């Protein structure tokens, strides 16, 4: 699923003085790859852990996501040192509906980084990209991610339960949404 047009990277620096959202660089890949193997990341995110091939093609795949309108993959950086502390991505479902997904590197969790990053991303998406509806989904057991949705004032939409055919355990997802001002204008 994608937008019908490419996505322009932010024209201004997205920062609140504590964190900044910026494009992915080669120097970020070690930290991104390490975090992709973290057990909490593996538990809650569907992405495969990064192997050598995924690491080699990471920047090209990120560029392609912007170009083909599929997503806006960004790094969450420390606003002072510019060091990466996590990743955040906007994934488009249509021209004006997108979901937000994030991972804060293990050593940086519990400092309010994800809520700051989500709020910066949401403000940019709803204004500059004219997204009308931003969706945030978390597994029902992922208390930390549900807290992020609440702290960012997303509205609770409901739950969705999937029953895998292979006899695996049912999986329930909690869905939140943030509506853009322009959603009321049609």
Ligand X SMILES: CC(C)(COP(=O)(O)OP(=O)(O)OC[C@H]1O[C@@H](n2cnc3c(N)ncnc32)[C@H](O)[C@@H]1OP(=O)(O)O)[C@@H](O)C(=O)NCCC(=O)NCCS
By CB under 6 A, name the binding residues for ligand X. Answer: 40-41, 44-45, 102-104, 109-115, 138, 142-145, 147-148, 151
CA distance 5 to 125: 15
For ligand X, the closer CB: 127 or 172:
172
User: Residue 69 Cβ, how far from ligand X at the closest point, in Å?
Assistant: 22
Residue whose CB is less far from ligand X, 62 or 113: 113
Q: Whole-number minimum distance, CB 6 to ligand X, in Å? A: 26
Q: Which is nearer to ligand X, 5 or 143 (CB)?
A: 143
CB nearer to ligand X: pick between 18 and 68? 18
Q: Indicate the residue among 9 and 112 with the shorter CB distance to ligand X.
A: 112
We find the least distance from the C-beta atom of residue 96 to ligand X, in angstroms, to be: 22
d(CA 126, CA 124): 6
Query: Which residue number places its CB atom closest to ligand X?
Result: 110
Least CB distance to ligand X at residue 102 (A) = 5
Least distance between ligand X and beta carbon 39 (Å): 9
């Amino acid at each position: 699923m994608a937008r019908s047009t490419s996505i322009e990277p932010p024209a201004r620096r997205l920062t609140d003085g504590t964190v900044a959202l910026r494009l992915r660089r080669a120097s970020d890949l070690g930290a991104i790859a390490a975090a992709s193997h973290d057990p909490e990341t593996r538990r809650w995110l569907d992405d495969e852990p990064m192997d050598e091939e995924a690491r080699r093609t990471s920047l090209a795949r990120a560029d392609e996501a912007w170009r083909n309108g599929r997503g806006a993959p960004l790094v969450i950086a420390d606003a002072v040192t510019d060091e990466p502390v996590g990743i955040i991505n906007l994934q488009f479902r249509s021209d004006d509906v997108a979901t937000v997904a994030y991972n804060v590197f293990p050593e940086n969790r519990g400092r309010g980084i994800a809520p700051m990053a989500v709020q910066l991303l949401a403000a940019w998406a709803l204004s500059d990209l004219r997204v009308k509806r931003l969706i945030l989904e978390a597994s029902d057991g992922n208390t930390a991610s549900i807290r992020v949705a609440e702290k960012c004032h997303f509205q609770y939409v409901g739950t969705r339960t999937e029953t895998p055919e292979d006899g695996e355990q049912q999986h329930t997802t909690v869905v939140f949404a943030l509506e853009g001002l322009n959603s009321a204008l049609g």
